[in-house]
Amino acid sequence: MTVRDGANGSSTERAGALAACTRLPGAELTHPFGLATAVFKAGGKMFAAVSLSDEPGRLTLKCDPDYGPS
């Protein structure tokens, strides 16, 4: 998935991020922070948040701390 700045293409990447999260096994779409943010959960735990109105869009992913920078 490509991340681009500015309005050109950002809605396309947002749609791609939403589609990718939706396809994951056990993924559930929720809106606990309001309708402007799509939150995806698996097993009751959040793994992704996608802004639905910001330009450029934002995608936040949760990962195991061992995979993040130290």
Q: Residues 17-50: pLDDT tens digits?
A: 999 999 999 999 999 999 999 999 999 999 999 9
Q: Round the average pLDDT of the chain to a whole number and report it.
A: 84
Q: How far apart are CA 70 and CA 19, in angstroms?
A: 30
* pLDDT value, residue 16: 92
For the chain, domains (ranges, CATH) are 10-62 (3.90.1150.30)
The arithmetic mean of pLDDT across residues 45-61, rounded, is: 90
Distance CA 40, CA 22 (A): 8
The radius of gyration computed from the CA coordinates of the chain, to the nearest angstrom, equals 13
pLDDT band for 64, please (50, 70, 90 cuts): confident
pTM of the complete model: 0.77
